[in-house]
Amino acid sequence: MKTNCENFRYVEKYRPYRDLTFKFYNNGRLVIIDNSNEEVISPRDLRSDSRDFYIRRRIAFIKNQLTASQLKYA
C-alpha cells in the first residue's frame, strides 16, 4: 500500500509565533514539525490556536477516511 501524506502549514497567531508543518499520513500517522528549529513536536505541546487547527484537521482527515472506506465497501 502506497503511503500518501497531506501537508498543512500553520503559523500561530500569538507570541512567540511558531511556524508549524502538520503531516497527516493515510495510515493514521502524524508528524508535527516546528519549522524554525526543524524539531518534531507532539500534539500535547501545541497551544490554543495551533491545537484547535490540529483538532479540526484531524477530524476532517478521519471523516475523509471513513467516507473513502464506505465508498470502497458499498
In order along its 74 residues, the chain shows pLDDT tens digits of 577 899 999 999 988 899 999 999 988 899 999 999 999 999 999 999 999 999 999 999 889 889 988 998 87
Q: Model pTM?
A: 0.84
Residue 1 is predicted with a pLDDT of 57
Contact by Cβ (8 Å): 26, 66: no
Enter the C-alpha cell of residue 28.
Answer: 493514521
Distances (CA, A) of 8 to 12, 58, 73: 13, 11, 29
Contact by Cβ (8 Å): 22, 10: yes
Using CA atoms, how far apart are residues 8 and 4, in angstroms rounded to an integer? 14
End-to-end CA distance of the chain: 21
